[in-house]
Structure 1
Amino acid sequence: MARTVALLAYDTTQSLDVSGPAEVFATANQEAGTELYRVVVLSPDGADVECSSGMTLGVRSSPDDLPGEIDTLVVPGSPDWERAMHDEALSAAVAAGARRSRRVAAVCGGAFLLGAVGLLDGKRTTTHWTCLDDLEQCFPEAKVERGPIFTQDGDLFTSAGVTAGIDLALALVEDDHGPQLARQVARFLVVFLQRPGNQDQFSARMRHEPPPHSALRGLLDSVVADPAGDHGLAALSVRAGYSERHLARVFMRELGVSPARYVEEIRLEAARTLLETGDAPLDVIARRSGLGSAETLRRRFRQEVGLSPGAYRRRFRTTGVSRQDA
């Protein structure tokens, strides 16, 4: 029997928060050659909605008029999440839909709508990076996580902004029907499957973005371009034309980290990419990423990622929902 996936849209909804997950579930039907999912778009009153982009979104019905049980309720976000979370009719629809659903998922600012009806209390959750502080302030009982693309806590799922809703939907398809179908869907949609929920929303370079006209930009580019190069403080200071002490001060002032820490993060990110995208031996990955030896790679991964490189590589063959590495 097909699982009903209900996407609860409302005025000012971000259209991709609805259409992205909807396309994932619809493509799963196409790739499987059978109706695994019945995808329906709802609104609190059953009327069509106007998205934040100005696009009008056609709606099937209201939650009250939808017969049968809901397998998965997906609540999209909105740039105007503050108004949305205080909309009584919308909150009532979220609460009613959640009571009828096996699992509930929020995309982006949809987490605020779940919080407004008490679904985030005591739960691990995330949202778009621009809203994380607001989510913590609005719902102090929630366990807000700042890095992941998406989180799972029991039957509650939340995701970061916009396209992360596609990652989350792929993970749900995998949880229901296995990684092979999820890979087929990702391939058809021309998106990456290998973005498990615990992947950071940002690269190291984006986390430590310097000011627009910073003199460090060329230096940072050289580290990213060649992680295995000589990026010790002495070598960096020569290339920057600064004393070592002054360069360290500039790094802390503009990036919030020391030169050594920045280089370390870039090298770990390079190692992650090599593990995710190929089957090179660990000693080769360690050398190419600048981490030196396989033993150093193993040690740094356990310290920074909490997994061995091998376990990390295996996890990147899956989205990681409801699965744990041995």
Structure 2
Amino acid sequence: MRERVILVVGYDGAELIDIACVTSSLDIANRSGASPPYRVILASPGRRSITCDSGLRLQAEAALERFNSPLDTLLVSGGLGHEQAAASERLVGHVRRLATLARRVASVCTGSTVLAEAGLLTNRRATTHWMYAEQFARRYPDVRVDPEPIYVRDGNIATSGGVTSALDLTLAFIEEDHGAALARGVALGTVAYLQRPGGQAQLSMFVARHTTDDLLVRRITDHVVSHLDGDLGTGALARLGGVSERHLSRMFLNHVGQTPAQYVRRVRTEAAAQLLVSTELPLAAVARRCGLGSTETLRQAFLGRYAVPPSRYRLAHTPVR
């Protein structure tokens, strides 16, 4: 094999970051010694230039309908134009055809809509941008949608979550193709995390706490995240907010979808998960730092949240250094 051909499918309304994360990472891999090197080709219907979400225009290098050569990877970009792209029988038909020529098929963000429309995700586990996951699941009930992971692999098809998850997916591809050392070098070149596991949640509670407009709920959730090892019982949080426990619980259910106790346990568990994969702290220290108290409480929290004990989670998710 002289080169690995990566065909990136673009369309009007594609997200530039979805494309650039892939193309720039593969270019760095080439400059870092990838052998065989990657050859990245941006393709569109009719080889027309595409206007990205940001308004910038990109010139396609190939026409989808004229491409007939074997591919290493077929990758569909996401973006606000994904609905229109999925409605194009011409574009979807060529994605379906090109998938038969590719060793590996992937999508970034909402590009999964095009793959699903082409029937490539039927009876497969897949992800997409968390904001569109519920809509995606309703539209394609034959797809096993998991909105949480950064990316999902099911056979030779990979789907990734929102926008910059394209970088994580591309690093995984580089490691698969050329080994961990080269992938680490590319991650360093992009100043990326070395490297987020695919199963890590797209939307952790550290982001989710800011999705409510209720100022009291935001103040209390901010306090929770900042005081994980403190007293975060419902009574203490109600006193902090100057409301009754019943009123606080009602507000949390309305704005967060969980009781205060459920929210606190999830935040503490996710914080513990972050410490497990980013530090070498013993389990007891992780439990204390996150307010879970003991290793047994930590274990029970992980079994409930991730269905595995913390030691196994650390082993499975700690990136190779």
TM-score, length-scaled by structure 1: 0.91
CA distance in 1, matches of 2:254, 2:4: 52
Determine the structure 1 residue equivalent to 2:298: 297
Q: Do the aligned partners of residues 308 and 194 (structure 1) sit closer, same or farther apart at CA in structure 2, a change above 3 Å counting?
A: farther
- Give the counterpart letter for 2:50 in structure 1: V
> Quick check: 98-107 or 16-25, which moved more?
16-25
- Give the counterpart letter for 1:274 in structure 2: L
CA distance in 1, matches of 2:253, 2:162: 29
Deviation of residue 209 (structure 1)? Answer: 4.3
Q: Do the aligned partners of residues 252 and 12 (structure 1) sit closer, same or farther apart at CA in structure 2, a change above 3 Å counting?
A: closer
Determine the structure 2 residue equivalent to 1:314: 315
- Give the counterpart letter for 1:119 in structure 2: L
CA distance in 1, matches of 2:32, 2:109: 27
SS in 2 for 1:175: helix
CA distance in 1, matches of 2:105, 2:98: 9
Superposed CA offset, 1:63-99 (max 9, x none) = 4544641011011013122211121221122122111
CA distance in 2, matches of 1:149, 1:274: 18
Give 1:174-185 correspondences, 5 Å limit.
Answer: 174-185=175-186
- The answer on whether the counterparts of 1:204 and 1:266 sit within 8 Å (CA) in structure 2 is yes
What is the percent sequence identity of the aligned residues?
38
- Give the counterpart letter for 2:175 in structure 1: E
CA distance in 2, matches of 1:110, 1:210: 24
- Give the counterpart letter for 1:303 in structure 2: G
SS in 2 for 1:168: helix
Task: Establish whether residue 278 from structure 1 lines up as the match of residue 279 from structure 2.
Answer: yes
- Give the counterpart letter for 2:125 in structure 1: R
Determine the structure 2 residue equivalent to 1:51: 52
Deviation of residue 245 (structure 1)? Answer: 2.5
Q: Do the aligned partners of residues 265 and 64 (structure 1) sit closer, same or farther apart at CA in structure 2, a change above 3 Å counting?
A: same
Deviation of residue 292 (structure 1)? Answer: 0.8
- The answer on whether the counterparts of 1:210 and 1:216 sit within 8 Å (CA) in structure 2 is no
CA distance in 2, matches of 1:233, 1:138: 39
Q: Do the aligned partners of residues 210 and 26 (structure 1) sit closer, same or farther apart at CA in structure 2, a change above 3 Å counting?
A: closer
- The answer on whether the counterparts of 1:24 and 1:166 sit within 8 Å (CA) in structure 2 is yes
- Give the counterpart letter for 1:14 in structure 2: E
CA distance in 1, matches of 2:235, 2:13: 53
SS in 2 for 1:315: helix
Determine the structure 2 residue equivalent to 1:153: 154
Determine the structure 2 residue equivalent to 1:169: 170
- The answer on whether the counterparts of 2:7 and 2:74 sit within 8 Å (CA) in structure 1 is yes
Superposed CA offset, 1:144-174 (max 9, x none) = 1121111111011111121111111111112
Give 1:34-73 correspondences, 5 Å limit.
Answer: 34-66=35-67, 68-73=69-74
Determine the structure 2 residue equivalent to 1:199: 200
> Quick check: 142-151 or 88-97, which moved more?
88-97
SS in 2 for 1:7: strand
Unmatched tracts of structure 2, length 5 or more: none
Superposed CA offset, 1:8-27 (max 9, x none) = 11222222211111111121
- The answer on whether the counterparts of 2:12 and 2:52 sit within 8 Å (CA) in structure 1 is yes
Deviation of residue 59 (structure 1)? Answer: 2.1
Give 1:1-326 correspondences, 5 Å limit.
Answer: 1=1, 2-32=3-33, 34-66=35-67, 68-209=69-210, 211-318=212-319
TM-score, length-scaled by structure 2: 0.92
- The answer on whether the counterparts of 1:208 and 1:256 sit within 8 Å (CA) in structure 2 is no
SS in 2 for 1:96: helix
CA distance in 2, matches of 1:250, 1:39: 50
Deviation of residue 205 (structure 1)? Answer: 3.9
Cα RMSD (Å) of the superposition? Answer: 2.0
